[in-house]
Amino acid sequence: MRKKKEAALNEAMQKAEREKQEREEQEKKHEEQRKKAEEALMKQAMEQQQKELERYQELERLQKEREEVMKRKQMEEEQQRQNQMKLLGKNKSRPKLSFALGMK
């Protein structure tokens, strides 16, 4: 009888130990899954941030390019105006007077 009790107690202890190990394994699996999900979210956030940064840089580049084109265009227009003034012999700019005849 005593051996049966000891065997039953031993068996119960082994069962409890197995259950404990299974719980620990399950917790470990859940923790790994949580970490993987967290890492995936972090990776996705980093990729999104990188895309936004690249888009911002591209927009910035385009803006600078537009500004350079406008500046170049203004310089060309100014150069053309100066060349025209030289051709016409108007190196010194004079105020233009306009005469309007009022008809009554």
Output 62 or 86, whichever has higher pLDDT: 62
What does 41-78 look like in DSSP terms, one character per residue?
Answer: HHHHHHHHHHHHHHHHHHHHHHHHHHHHHHHHHHHHHH
Residue with tokens 């051709």: 87
% of residues, the chain, pLDDT over 70: 86
Whole-angstrom Cα distance, residue 49 to residue 57?
12
Whole-angstrom Cα distance, residue 73 to residue 66?
10
Sequence ranges of the domains in the chain: 1-82
Output 51 or 100, whichever has higher pLDDT: 51
> What is residue 31's predicted lDDT score, i.e. its pLDDT?
97
- How many C-alpha atoms does 77 have within 13 Å on its Cβ side? 6
